[in-house]
Chains A and B, each alone.
Chain A
Amino acid sequence: MMEFHIHHLHAWAPGLDTNEAWQAWAHHPTRRPDNNEQPSCDFLPTMQRRRLSRLARMTMHAAWPLCGEEEQLPFVFASRHGETPRTFALLGDVADEQPLSPTQFGLSVHNAIAGQWSILRGQHGESVAIAGEADTFEHAMVEAATLLSDGAKHVLVVMAEERPPAAYDDWIDDVPFSYAVALKVGGIESAEKVSSGERWLLRLELNAGTSTSGAWPHVLDFVRAMHTSESTLEHTWKTRRWIWQRSP
């Protein structure tokens, strides 16, 4: 059993950039049109923005307000598919026997965005980049739980996905629209009176039945639950049944 105090949640998706917009989405979740919109990240000077991809901008935008000016937070970046547009463009250059862009090649690793976060925010603590299956979000929370049990007071978790190029349509069907969700999480200290945020318990059970994928990616379903009064969520994938429970 893992226990989390969700201190803050900040999410971005095309057309969903305010708490009110997410609140409305949570009550009537729909597939958002995704026209490659991206956050401006104009809190960064031009020279620091020039190597931020769309997924990186979404991540920076979502995570930025959750980390204080002088704060050091262990960072967990989670994405099942990563930067498919970049990969696809590089593969196109390889196929065309064109030289590869040094910048694009240099950033074509799963932990590139975590690295950029570390540089831009002067973070020198733990940093994790993971990719899992449909339950990547829960695996990111397992990472957060291990960092918390290792002594971290808070952990910053970002789960981000980008709509892949059309060439991937036959394989990737779980990114209805691009999104980034940032969570600042802590453990639950029984002595501490908590005035803001929410407490959630997460446990893993064996899933014996068939795996039915939900209507929404797990993290978006969690965002939905945060904005509604829902108190229990079940996310199953293959042999794993993740049970989220709101704690008073």
Chain B
Amino acid sequence: MNALQQDIAQLIIDTLNLEDVTVDDIPPDLPLFGEGLGLDSVDALELALALQKHYDIRIASDSKDARQHFTTVATLAAFVQAQKDACAS
């Protein structure tokens, strides 16, 4: 797990108030929604808000790709990195 992935896993735990869950319980390839961690659509909204605040990025709510970006910690980290790179350039 790289630093950004760890950071995002911790953000998920803090934002969604997942008591007793540690970063190690959310490996990068664990599906976040449905089977897997078990998050739902309200969590997705909450998480999108937290990611935008925390990383100062924008997530278009109508993006067709959003579902893919939110699949796992690994896909979220790749998405956040791409957004940060895009803003920096």
Binding site for B on A (CB under 8 A): 46-47, 49-51, 99, 101-103, 106
Which residues of the partner chain B approach A106 to less than 8 Å between Cβ atoms?
42
What is the chain B residue whose CB lies nearest that of A51? B17
Name the contact of A46 in the complex, choosing from B18, B42, B45, B49 (C-beta under 8 A): B18
Q: Specify the chain A residue showing the minimal Cβ separation from B38.
A: A47
- Residue from the list B17, B18, B42 in contact with A102, Cβ < 8 A: B42
Tell me if A's interface is mostly helix, strand, loop or mixed. helix
Please give the distance in Å from A240's CB to the nearest CB on chain B. Answer: 40
Q: Chain B residue with minimal CB distance to A100?
A: B49
Tell me how many residue pairs across A and B have CB atoms closer than 8 Å: 25
Interface residues of B, Cβ cutoff 8 Å to A: 16-21, 38, 42-43, 45-46, 49
On chain A, the residues within 8 Å of B46 by CB distance are 101-103
A50 touches B49 (CB 8 A): no
Q: Is the CB–CB distance between A102 and B19 below 8 Å?
A: no
How far apart are B59's CB and chain A's nearest CB, in angstroms?
12
Give B50's nearest chain A residue, CB to CB. A101
Pairwise interchain contact A50-B45, C-beta atoms closer than 8 A: no
Q: Determine how close the nearest CB of chain A comes to the CB of B45; give it in whole angstroms.
A: 4
